Chain A
Amino acid sequence: RKEVEQDPGPFNVPEGATVAFNCTYSNSASQSFFWYRQDCRKEPKLLMSVYSSGNEDGRFTAQLNRASQYISLLIRDSKLSDSATYLCVVTRGSGGGADGLTFGKGTHLIIQP
């Protein structure tokens, strides 16, 4: 069974701190990798795509290690608005164009004032 594993948390972090999450995935056929965030009872929203070379978007840095099948997310200078569930997501690797996504259960982050 193709899974994505994440530490569910919650991570309780003071405002302004740096926090790191990671996940592992089991499907070596996955081709695309993402972090989504999900607020309570809302839809998943793309935070960023993840590339092997590593990529940064403002306070967020993501990294992919394909050999270890490991994905990470670093949030610097955390804000109260960063409180959410962070979903590690990979493509199912079906080989077709309309490749579905496999989601982790998410890591719950709470930023405390």
Chain B
Amino acid sequence: EPEVTQTPSHQVTQMGQEVILRCVPISNHLYFYWYRQILGQKVEFLVSFYNNEISEKSEIFDDQFSVERPDGSNFTLKIRSTKLEDSAMYFCASSPVGGETQYFGPGTRLLVL
């Protein structure tokens, strides 16, 4: 069964450093998403992406964040200058059709020191 994959599984970084989280969505899916989950809290929407552009973003997704689909398979989330409060699990998701089931990757656990 096809699945969303994410790398790395864990990342530790220093405050102020840039990080890039990578995702490979399911191959025939057209819609891509990033979510985060701070430890002990709910899953929160960050951004959605379709047709090579951002479709929607939440108030969390400020100028420190950017997304890119650099080639036909990868979907990346960049955090330009990490803060302590960016420490969280970051989930990538994809769906074949907008508004339908989103399939989540296993997540990248980011720790900012």
Instruction: List residues of A whose CB falls within 8 A of some B CB.
Output: 31-32, 34, 38, 41-46, 49, 87, 91-92, 94, 96-106
Contact A44 B101 (CB under 8 A): no
Contact B42 A105 (CB under 8 A): yes
Residue from B33, B45, B104 within 8 A of A102 (CB atoms): B45
* Closest chain B residue to A43, Cβ basis: B104
Does more than half of chain A's interface fall in helix, strand or loop, or is it mixed?
loop
Q: Using A44-B43, A104-B42 as known contacts, say yes or no to A97 and B31 having CB atoms under 8 A apart.
A: yes
Contact with A along B93-111 (1 / 0, CB 8 A): 0000111111111110000
Contact B42 A100 (CB under 8 A): no
Query: Chain B CB within 10 Å — which of A96, A99, A102, A105 has the most?
Result: A99
Q: How many A-B residue pairs have CB under 8 A?
A: 72
Query: Chain A CB within 10 Å — which of B32, B35, B42 has the most?
Result: B42
Q: Using A31-B99, A96-B55, A99-B99 as known contacts, say yes or no to A43 and B44 having CB atoms under 8 A apart.
A: no
* Closest chain B residue to A95, Cβ basis: B56
Contact A98 B98 (CB under 8 A): yes
Contact B104 A96 (CB under 8 A): no
For B58, what are the chain A residues with a Cβ–Cβ distance below 8 Å?
A: 100
